[in-house]
Each structure stands twice: as structure tokens, then as C-alpha cells.
Structure 1
């Protein structure tokens, strides 16, 4: 009985009053009669998607870029500071000076700062940032609208995170030298390639 009373309270609250509740329940009918599943859909809690989620998981963004950036934002990438239990050297894979954590690896390391600077210059992005959260916030504000130009910032961020991480892994596991200008070239090429796929005719005007 207590559960039924609680459900009644939830329904009235969700519907905005008793009369609205009655009208809503009258529509909760399926092929076999009254549908409890439809009632559940009314009262079940719904998590609000964050702006970061909406920013990262978008139709034009390749899944590998979205997934890597999402792990970066959540602090789940296996940077060296998270591998202490393996007794690894925690110094940055690029500079060898500071502890390798998310913020240092992607933003404050000299290697990554050079990559970001050259990507910004190459794609005509004026804003600077020092963290993944800061980058997503400004790009989310600037990325509203359907114009092709509004997609450059988001793609630059997601592409850069993915390819900086890929460059780091290639350095560790394959012994491939990390060259900022090479990583920058790959990032800019991939951003332009995706933009071209979205709107071939509008690309020139967007990046000019």
C-alpha cells in the first residue's frame, strides 16, 4: 500500500496536478489494456545529459575520437600517474620532466602546447585553453548552429586529443619519434577531411 501511495504521489507530481494525472493515465493503454510500462515511463528518473556529452557524442564525429575524448574528460585514460601499481616511471612520455597526468600530457607539456598552437593557427581558431573541460566549454558555446564553421572547433579538440594520445602510444610501444609538426599535420588533415565529407562545397568558405 505504501508503494502504491508513493506511485500516486509521483504521478501527480510529474503530471502537475490530480486532473492532469487522470488525463495522462487515460492515455496509458496498450493493445491488451492498461499499460504499466507506460506509467513507468512517466515516473522513472531521467538523467540530464551534460553539455560535454552532447558536445562529444555527435553524428559527424568519428567514434574513436569521441571515445578517446570522453575517457580523457573522465580521467580514465591510462596515463602514467594512474599506473603507479605497475611501478612505472611516471615522467611524461613526451618531455620526461613532469608527472604524466591528463592535464599535463594534453595541455601543459611543451609538445602538446606546440601541437595545439599549430592546430589553432592552421584552422583559424583564436581561443586558447589549458584543460579539456575548458576546451569543451568554449567550443560548446561557439559550436551552436548548423553552419560548417561551427564544427571546426569541436573537431579540432576531439581530433587533437585522439592523435596526441596516439602519438604518445606510438612513442611508448613502437619507439616512433614524437614530432609535433607531424602530429599537427595529421590533425589538420583529418579535420578538413571530415568537414569535406559533411559539406564538400562549403569547406573552402569555412576555413578561408
Structure 2
């Protein structure tokens, strides 16, 4: 430990020793932006960490009689399925793509994340708008899923 001439330790050296070095995540730029609504940031952070209570996660510690997706009512509810291009989610993604004036947007969740991370890079206004729109779309997919799970309410795209 480095000390000054007067015997006091340098605070920066102490800080560097006790500070935990976290792994840099590839999606941080997409999640943490001062332009994104904090509620949306929190949900997108949970999504990228795979911490949302989708039915496939809940079944690991609790018996669930029906594992079907609440949005399409067909496939098992998983992260990949919930946020990819199907039924309700598809309508939201198509609206997002149209508003962003994009020609192509993938249907697979893994590809959607890759495209989103590329488009969110930088500080230009277009990337900031993309982050807000992407995070809002993911948030509203999750919000609709929860509305159907807990209140048995089915909202239309216009109501989201």
C-alpha cells in the first residue's frame, strides 16, 4: 500500500483495492440511458439477465398446470418465445420497425437482441430514439403478458 510522506494512505489506492470489478456486459449500452424511462430500464435489465418470472422459470420451483404462453396461447412461455415475432409481440415489433423506418427486423429473440445492441451504439439522436423504442416495446410485451396473467385482461395493441 502506497503512503504519502506523512504516513497517510492514498484514498484512490484504497478505493481500487476494495472496489469490485464487474464484468462488462454487452447489453449495458442498450439498457442504461438517461433517455429511457426508468421502469423500462428495470424490465429490460431483468430481461437481459433472464430474471423475469416467465412460466418456464417458475416451473423450476413450483408446479404450473399450464405452461402455454399467455400472449399466443400455443407455445411454452420462454424468454425466446415471449419476445420473438409472434401474435401480440409481432404487432408491437412491426409498429416499432415501421416507426424506426427499418426495412428488416429479425423474428428470433437472439437475433433481435443482436440487432438492438448494434443499433443502440453511439450517441446520435437516432440511437437514443432506438433505445427508447426498443425498451418500450419489450416493456409493453411484458406488461401485456402480466395483464393477461393477473387480471385476465386482454388489451388490444392500441391500448398498450
Sort the TM-score into its range (normalised by shorter chain).
Answer: 0.7 to 0.9
Structure 1 pair 140/67, CA: closer, same or farther in 2 (3 Å)? same
Structure 2: 5+ residue stretches without partners: none
Asked if 1:151 corresponds to 2:128, the answer is yes
1:81-120 maps to which residues of 2 (within 5 A)? 81-84=56-59, 85-120=62-97
Q: CA RMSD in A?
A: 2.5
Return the index of the structure with the highest Cα Rg. 1
Higher relative contact order (CA 8 A, sep 6+): 2
1:178-198, CA deviations, whole angstroms, 9 ceiling, x for partnerless residues? 32x326xx4xxxxxxxxxxxx
| Alignment coverage as a number of residue pairs | 156
Asked if 1:162 corresponds to 2:139, the answer is yes
CA shift, 1:42, in A, is 3.9
Structure 1: 5+ residue stretches without partners: 1-6, 8-24, 187-208
SS of residue paired to 1:34 = coil
Q: Hey, which of these two has a bigger chunk of helix by percent?
A: 1
Provide the rounded CA distance (Å) in 2 between the counterparts of 1:138 and 1:52.
11
TM superposition score normalised by structure 2: 0.81
CA shift, 1:36, in A, is 6.3
1:1-208 maps to which residues of 2 (within 5 A)? 25=2, 28-29=3-4, 33-35=7-9, 37-43=11-17, 46-84=21-59, 85-129=62-106, 130-131=108-109, 133-179=110-156, 181-182=157-158, 186=160
Provide the rounded CA distance (Å) in 2 between the counterparts of 1:29 and 1:55.
42
Provide the rounded CA distance (Å) in 2 between the counterparts of 1:145 and 1:108.
26
TM superposition score normalised by structure 1: 0.64
- Tell me if structure 1 keeps the 8 A contact 2:85–2:93: no
Structure 1 pair 177/75, CA: closer, same or farther in 2 (3 Å)? same
Runs of 4+ in 1 over 6 A off after TM superposition: none
CA shift, 1:148, in A, is 1.5
